Structure formats: structure tokens, C-alpha cells
Amino acid sequence: MFGLEIADIVVIVVYFSLIIAVGFWASRRIKNKEDYFLAGRSFGKLIQTFAAFGQATSADTAVGVTTTTFNNGIAGIWSSLLYLFATPLYWVVTHWPRRMRVFTLGDYFIERYDSVKMGLTYSLIGAVGMMAFIAVGFNAMAKTIEAIMPKDIAIYNAADIAEYSKTYQAELITAGKLNENPNVLSYEELAERNKLDKTPAENLSQSEKSRLSFLNTLRPAKTISHISKDVLVWVVCVVVLLYAVVGGVLAAFIVDLIQGVFIILLSVMLLPFAWAKINATYGGSGVLNAFSVIHQKLPDAFFQIFGAPQTPDFTWYYIITLSFMAAITVVVQPTGAVLAGSAKDEISNRSGVVIGNFIKRFCTVLWALLGLAAIVLYSGKVVHSDLIWGHAALDLLGSLHIGLIGLMIACLLAALLSTVDCHMLTSSSLLMHNFYTPLAPNRSPKHYIWAGRILGAMIVVTSAWVTLQFDTILQILKFIWEINVMLAPAYWLGIKWRRANRYGAWASISIGALLFLVVPVLGPAVWPQMRYSENLLRTTRPAPIVKIEHASEYDVQKRGQQIEQWERLSSPPGRRPVELTLGSEFEQTYTFPKRSIFWSQGVKADADGKLSGKGMFSTELWIIEKLGVDLQNKPYALNETLRILFRTLLPFAIMIIVSLMTKPDPENVLNRFYAKMRTKVIPNHDIDARKVAISLQNPNRYNHLLVFPKSKFEIYKWTRQDYIGFILSVMGVGMVLFFVWLMVSFGA
């Protein structure tokens, strides 16, 4: 069924049954909306750790890292490790929502700025953002599992052939207009390759072997799967409805603990099989020998952690800038309030968030190691890198027939569900608490629980529907994630600067929304000619990088394929590539595609062949260029760095200026908020409530904690716990980098 064996289906059914059972078990322990949305603020370090790990790890993460490593070597790890350097700051900031004692982050904006409308605005933006995250997770999961369950071309039906051919024609049109080689197999060529690949090598003539070698250098236009994206999305949607919507945060976070184990299993289960196959193929035994083979087969550039020539976008300044933005925006994400609010105390929340994210960092290294092993095993066989995880799973696990493919699918589903459940409950709590409750006050606890469940169901179903309307939604993920930047000043300055006021907050949110949301989305819709403007279609002009290297077996094989392709052309360009021998010095030229300056999804050809900008318009880079900066002759990484800095810093500048020019917020409102922020959370709810009440009566009782007591800044002296946690977190960053270095040096 669906290309799976009975054992695989049994594993998947058992997994689904387990998490649904947890949902119904948890539903019997829910008495009020705090139980449903925050699990009674009762979770300790273990649950908090795996909840944070689950939120940080989705279905696309492991597959994405393996893909980028397969393409670029170990430097591809930065596709996921970009936020490594922001992790120590999580220790400093993630417990703030717990100290606020709020139900949602919408409550923060209401209490700090005494504005119900601001809380409502945040709730609506946050809910939409969470739905986009859910849709991205659905999309990534569907594509990954489709790749694990490919349909053999021999059983393609008429609809499959038509779908494949349509994709092939679209790629030819775009490539032709951009003067690029599509390097894509037509359906006829795919059928020919399939036939030759299934013929024993001894039965192939020399010309057929040569033809097969050439066809293996081309990639398929599309993968046709046994199961459709629609079916996958709706099945997962129903499962989420049955456990997370019914059981609330209690069910979601307990399931996250179970799923965290699955995700870690996902991170390691393919590696031993990959190393065993390398040893079986090239001789030898043990992990050390497998690593030695990997080093022998791959060029040195594939083991450069920093500054690898094949990944020029991951520069040191781009990595630092993204880490800075991640640190600024992580506290504004609505899920932070759910994670912090469900913790029994601050230390459980802080340690859980930091440890959970470090677990992900170490798993990322394992995913990258699989990518290196996959280059050795499948280079030249799997040209479409997005399929490498699915191909490896089928090749390494499928032949055992003991349900490991089903376990792999269950692990991928676990990675998705651990993210979806929290995003769904976060959106539901925002809408129920900050939108529905003011409209329907003074109802029974049971009424609000069911209101939350209905809203949660609507959010999941809507997210599933949105997923099915788009083929690629990952750009929306990046866009929604960056939207938090326009909310960040009202959060950071509101907590640390008493002079920040509602006028400044509204100005930063409004102007940020205009520049970073309204204009990028509605601008091209109102003025469609923007997408066709020759000035806005300009791209970067990346200069090639030339290096002298020693030829590895990978280089020799790749050069052989280049020579074969050159010889097959009727009018080949330039000179015939020079053959390489193992260990010989040669000049390696790294060339990079031109990147669109102003459009998030690049420049592509329409159906009529006319070039146009795709995705959303970059207002930031347009303004930066108008200020006199030459973007076309700068690296894409530098342009992106400038864009991120502009987007991050401008809202802060707006809020500071407007706040200083307008009257401050009422002192009683400020005292009420900062009295809670200065009072440390006590696990016992009754004692904690009494301590907060005392602080509210005497807002100055903790003035001795302030670093600058006579200023408007609310900066608190660090405790021994603060220093130890931060230092350990910095050491954790060093340990991750050391682990990466150790793994790529092992066996060299």
C-alpha cells in the first residue's frame, strides 16, 4: 500500500495511536483555560527541554541540512546553525514572559502600554504568523515523505506523465529566458535512464554505459509519489485535531517529549547504515575507516567549516547579523509565552529553552554528517539533492523489511507535529484570550475551553488549506519570521526603558508594517509594472572564485562528467576540459548564479516568456540604494546583511525618537508592570501571588536590584544563577563548534 510494506504501515499506525491516546488522557485533566493553554503552569525542566526542542525542530530541518551539506560540504551546516551564536542570549531573555505572569504576549502589550487595541493587534499578527509556520511545516513534511515514497516510472499513469511533462516545459521556458542550462531530464530521457539503470551492467554495451553515465548527470524535473500531498496534509491535520486540540498544552508537551526521542532517533538512525555501506563498498570496517574513505573521496573544500568557496553567502558578517536578529526577535514570538507560561518556575523555563536548542544544534551536526556520507554513496546517482534523504532512507533501510521506513516516516511526522501543536495552541490562546473573551466575558471555564478547541481546529484546518494553495511556501516562512522585527522595539524597549510609551510603540509597529508588510505585498499588486521594471529586475554580479586544489576522487569523477557533457554538444563552448588524476594540482573555479536584488523569490520567466520579479519586494534594499549604495556590485550576502540591519534597527530608532517627543505613559501603569518584572517567580502559586501583591503595594521594594536606579532604564543586576547559566551557554556554543570540527577532522 502506497509503496510501503506491512511492517512500515504497522509502525506508523502504532505511532499515531500512541499520541492520540495521550491527547484523550490529557483532556480528562483539564478544568479551566489555564489548564488547557498553560497546563496549570506546572512543567519542570524535562518537559520544558523537549517542548523547546520540538518547537525548534520541524520536518524540513533535518532534510534541509542534509541537502545543503550534500551540495556544499560541511559548510552547508550553516543553513541551520545560523542562530547558534544567539543561543546564550536565550538564557537572558526567554524567562521574561514567565515573570510577567501573563496568559499570552498580547497581555503584555495591554498591561505595559495600557492599550487593549495594541494587544488585539499583536494577537491578530501573531495568530496569522503561527498559521503560516504551520503551513510551512505541512508543506515540508509532505514533500519529504513524497520523496521517501517515489513511484517507479514504469507505473506512471497518464496524469503522472502529464504532470511531469508540464514541470519539464516550465523549467525549459525559465532557463531559456535566463540563458541557463536547465540540466533536466525529459520524460522520454527519464524512461530511458530507468530502463538502462535496471539492466545488469554486463548486458549493457559500451555506448549504453556511456549514455547511462550522461543521463545520470541530469536531474528529474519532478518526483511523482505514491501518496499525494493533499492526502498527507489532511491525515496529519486530523491527527493534530485528535490529540492537541482535545488535550491542550498538557497533551502537546507530553507528546513533544515522546516525539523528541523520535527526532533524536531520526538524527542517528541512518548514520550507522551509511557508514556500513561505505565500508562494504570500499572495504574496511568501523567508523574510523568510513570517515577515512569520506576524506579520501571528497575535496578539501568540502571540510571547510568557515569560508568554504562553494558557500559564499554564509560569510561571517551575515551569520553574525542573522544571529543578532534572531536574538532580537525570539522573545517576540507568541510561542515564547506558552513555553514560559507553562513552566513551574523561571529556572525550568530558562534551562529548558537553552538545553532544548542545544540538543537541536548537536543533532544538526549529525544531519550534516549524513550529507557527507551521502556524497560518497550517491554522487552521480541522485542529482536532485532535495531527494537525497528519501533516497538514502529507501536504499539503507528499505531492504531490511523490518518497518524501518515506517519508523523513518514516524520520525519525520514527529518533527512536524512537535512544531504544529505548539503553534496551533499559541494561535488559539491569542484569539480566545485577547479577541474572543472581551467579546464574550464572564462565561464558564468549560465554555472557554471549548472556544479554544474550536478556534484551534479552525486554525489547523485553515493552515492545511493554505498549504494546498501553494507549491513553495518557504519564502512566506522567512517573511513572517522577519515580521517580528517590527514588534520587537515595543517589547524590548517596553521592558528595559520606562520612557518607552504607547505612541512610540504604535509608530514603530505602523511604520514597520507599512515598509515591511504593506508595500512588499500590496505594492506589486497595485502597480504590477513593478515586477517588469528593468531597474528592479537587476541582479548581483558575483565574481568567480579561483583556487588551486589537489584533485580528489570526487574531483576526478566530476571532471569526467564535464568532459562527457562537453563532447556530446554539437558546438561545444571553449576548450575541452583537462582530465584530472588523483592528487594532481588543478585550478578550481567556483561560479555562482546571479541573485535578484529586490525580489524575494528571484527573477523568473512568465508563461509568455517575459521576465518578472517573483515574491515580495524588498523595500529596505530599495531605500538603501536610494541613499547611494551600489548594491549590484556587492555580494549577495552583504546586500542581505544590509537589509536585515535596516529592518532590525529602523523600528527601534522610530520608537526611541517618537517616545522622546511625546508624553510618557502614566506612572501608575508603569509601576504596576515593573513591580511584577522585579519580583522573581515562586513555584507555589499562592505564595507567588502574595509576593506580587506586596510588590504592587510597594513598587520600589526592589529598587536595589537596578544597575542604574536613578535612570529610566530597568536593567537588573545579574545573580550568580544568571552568570553561571550565561557562561555555560557560551561554553555550549564552543562545544558545538568543537563537535563540528572533531567530526570533519575524524579520519583525516
Condensed to tens digits (0 to 9), the pLDDT of residues 198-239 reads 888 778 888 887 788 777 767 676 777 777 777 777 877 777
* Per-residue model confidence (pLDDT) at position 466: 67
**Cell 502574595 belongs to residue:** 690
Give the dihedral sign, CA 724/729/730/734: positive
Using the structure block, give the residue that is written with the C-alpha cell 549504453. Answer: 208
Grid coordinates in use for 28? 480528562
In angstroms, the CA 665 to CA 461 distance is 41
For the chain (748 residues), the mean pLDDT of every run of 10, in chain order, is 71 81 74 68 81 74 80 83 88 91 89 91 82 73 70 80 78 64 76 82 80 74 72 76 68 74 78 90 84 86 77 80 83 81 87 92 90 84 66 77 76 71 78 83 84 82 69 49 79 96 95 88 89 92 83 81 76 82 84 85 77 88 94 90 93 97 95 94 89 92 92 94 96 94 80
Nearest to 15 by CA among 250, 235, 269: 235
Residue 582 region, left (φ>0) first, then alpha (ψ -120 to 50), else beta? beta
Cell readout for 597 is 536584488
The three cell numbers of residue 390 are 528519501
Instruction: Tell me which residue has cell 502597480.
Output: 527
Q: Give the span between the Cα atoms of 226 and 235, in whole angstroms.
A: 15
Tell me how far apart the alpha carbons of residues 65 and 54 are, in angstroms, rounded to a whole number: 17
627's CB contacts (< 8 A; 6+ apart) are none
Whole-angstrom CA distances from 110 to 117, 174, 434, 502 are: 8, 49, 9, 10
The DSSP symbol for 576 reads P
Domain ranges of the chain: 6-150+225-471+717-745
Q: Domain 6-150+225-471+717-745 falls in which CATH fold? A: Sodium/glucose cotransporter (1.20.1730)
End-to-end CA distance of the chain: 44
Q: Which three cell numbers stand for residue 442?
A: 464572564
d(C-alpha 681, C-alpha 121), whole Å: 28
CA distance 701 to 514: 42
C-alpha cell at 244: 492537541
Length of the chain equals 748
- The pLDDT score that the predictor gives to residue 473 is 44
Q: Is 229 helix (H, G, I), strand (E, B) or coil?
A: helix
Question: Cα dihedral angle (322, 328, 334, 338), rounded to 10 degrees?
Answer: 110
CA–CA distance, 714 with 717 (Å, rounded to integer): 10
* pLDDT tens, residue by residue, 467-477: 665 544 444 54
Q: What are phi and psi of 591, to 5 degrees?
A: -110, 150
C-alpha cell at 55: 518547537
Mapping DSSP onto H, E and C, the string for 467-521 reads: HHHCCCCHHHHHHHHHHHHHHHHHHHHHHHECCCCHHHHHHHHHHHHHHHHHHHH
Helix, strand, or coil (residue 150): strand
Looking up cell 543561543 gives: 87
Residue in this structure with the C-alpha cell 502537546, named with its chain if needed: 252
Measured CA distances, 159 to 140, 165, 171, 191, 506 (Å): 23, 10, 19, 16, 52
Which residues does 693 contact at the CB level (< 8 Å), separation at least 6?
none
Specify the pLDDT at position 140.
66
Cell numbers for 393, please give them.
532512507
Residue 109 CA to residue 673 CA, distance in Å, equals: 11
The predicted pLDDT at position 474 comes to: 43
Q: How far is CA 665 from CA 308, 497, 610, 662, 668, in A?
A: 51, 12, 54, 9, 9
Parallel, antiparallel or unpaired: strands 545-550 and 585-590: antiparallel
Q: What angle do CA 289, 292, 297 make, to 5 degrees?
A: 125
Q: How many angstroms separate the CA atoms of 692 and 103, rounded?
A: 16
0.85 exceeded by the pTM?
A: no
If you write DSSP's letter for every residue of 412-430 in order, what string do you get? HHHHHHHHHHHHHHHHHHH
- Cα–Cα dist 454/434, whole Å: 15
pLDDT of residue 556: 84
C-alpha–C-alpha distance, residues 96 and 602, integer Å? 39
Quick one: CA torsion of 313, 314, 315, 319, rounded to 10 degrees? Answer: 130
